[in-house]
A and B are shown apart, each in its own frame.
Chain A
Amino acid sequence: MAYFTQQLINAITLGAIYGLIAIGYTMVYGIIGMINFAHGEVFMIGAFISLIGFIICGSLGISSAPIAIVLVLLLAMSFSAVYGWAIERTAYRPLRGSFRLAPLISAIGVSIALQNYVQLAQGARPKPGGQIVSGGFNLFTADGFDVRVTWLQIIIVLVTIVLMAGFTWVIARTSLGRQQRACEQDMKMAALLGVNVDRTISLTFVLGAALAAVAGMLFLMYYGVIDFFIGFLAGIKAFTAAVLGGIGSLPGAMLGGLLIGLIEVFWAGYFSSEYKDVAAFAILVLVLIFRPSGLLGKPEIEKV
């Protein structure tokens, strides 16, 4: 029981990070019907900007962890948002109205370019991030096994919940969110009502990128080490999470992230940690075969 609880705590933490990245996939898919294959790279860049941010905070003598985290969070979100915007402008917008595969190919191109750019600029070796938040507490002890929750895990889950709640509120309740959903459902009609569709699509990329940057920062803090290649695996897993939850569905992305975290951690904890990635991707295959619209995906049939 103790071992199970410990795995559960770890899984929720990991699932939170996947969920944050998955939101970007699902939102972009929702609005333009395409997967942003450069999204994992935005996550990776967010992690690097966070690392640089923490180093700057250190050299400025900001020793309070909460202040440093908030500052780095804002820094990473705003810089990555620019990357998200630039990806849309360079890889997607010029190819709108072109054949469907074209923007996917250009996005993969952007992805490769960003990986190599970071590799050149930051070096290929893994970068240690140092420990920003340490410590935790014992939840309970059973069978001679301490079930531990670290402060960092609490921060990760709390930041994720706050961001997801805020984000859900923006989409469901604000005029901006309504315009975003309107573009998703009928772009031509949205334009007829005065929505600037191009700007709304840009905004979707920007919001997704900002959330991915937060995931990047949390990843850096949790694992303590990053390199230019982390975006690939995390990106594909978050993509799997988005598909599992139902691509295009916002709550689906959050649920999918959590489930992928659970699957991965429990597989590693009970079966084999070498094959944890295989477990996550086997789920992708199974979902695509048996339930392509995902757990919370929208039904395709609509009354006209």
Chain B
Amino acid sequence: MEYIDNFLFAILLVFGIGFFIKNLKKLKRNINLGKDIDRSDRIGERWNNMFRIALGQSKMIRRPVSGVLHIIVYVGFVIINIEVLEIIIDGLFGTHRVLSFMGGFYSFLIASFEILAVLVLVAVIVFWIRRMIIRIPRFWNKEMKGFPKNDALYILYFEMVLMSLFLIMNATDVHFQELNSGNPVSQFVADLFNGFSLETNHLIERTSWWMHIAGILVFLNYLYYSKHLHILLAFPNTFFANLNPQGQFTNDKTVLKEVQMMMDPNTDAFAAPPEGEEDEVPEKFGASDVTDLNWVQLMNAYTCTECGRCTSVCPANQTGKELSPRAIMMKTRDRVEEVGNNIDQNGEFKEDGKQLLYDYIAPEELWACTSCNACVEECPIDIDPLSIIMDMRRYLVMEESAAPQELNIMMTNVENNGAPWQYNQMDRLNWKDE
């Protein structure tokens, strides 16, 4: 019976991590529902981007208040998790503070964890205040109702609880407090528990210890269901981000094939399709569903943590239009999830009569975009909502001829007289003599 704790701990760990890996596999599968795109070039620049933007948080601090607070939580999160290593060893082998043999260095580590824990706690409380008391507008846009709003709050509560448990665990560890080394914060918390007996302190310590590790495992598994995946995906997302100038939009290869054929004087317009290709469905132009997007765009959707910086700088959103770049990402993710679940239930995708366009994203949103790249520039982890908007416009125009009437006129003009307005191409140089 004396090993029951270790046994329970091992089961908890295996289930916690196993379930997480299962979801990671699903995540990978869902991202790979997207079309292929080659982002294996310019590797040096890609590493550099990842170090600078994801690890170095260079784009976060453009907004100094939330930027600095975020860095505190981020650094705290990464460093305090070293403590998890000790917890896992202790849990599996029934030891207690196994790393304390390191003496002074151990005290230094724990002391820094404690200080970071307080800083994280304060930062997270400020985050909550910014959301719920100051009510910063970007947290209250229309897409932030219901689960997205609660999701953000759950994450904040989680972090508050985990940090508190860590401090309580140290405070009620009577032996650790007696050493009075490495407890710069918990010694004050310990005062709260002074009145209790040794046994009660021990019970609280054990409970906090268990809840702390269980909490971490629950949080780990909550990631996949929340907006919080960015703590992992920010790294590949910045690595695989677009490195070309933001103004350079892709030249659609499917279209290129058609255009080359059209402009080739040797093309026989009346030729029958080559043998065996008669029944081939021609590739779709643009995107009407998530499977028409590429995997980087789908990864973008999973990476988005709904901070809303993009939407807060979007000229269309600021002037009351339907478009919100954040909502474009959220809707894309919702639809990928739906397609993924459909595959899980049916073994393969079973037509559900829905698609990203119309059922999630309305043309009105797409037509409000000025392609100004403010959202792309603003995203702290290089998400590109504009590329999705453009791909969907391509579908609307090239597959459905569903452009707004004025744009149809513009395009007809470009086609007929080489200018968006109805002027004769032969008059192009008239300005010279006017």
Tell me, yes or no, whether A binds B. no
Interface, chain B (partner A; CB < 8 A): none
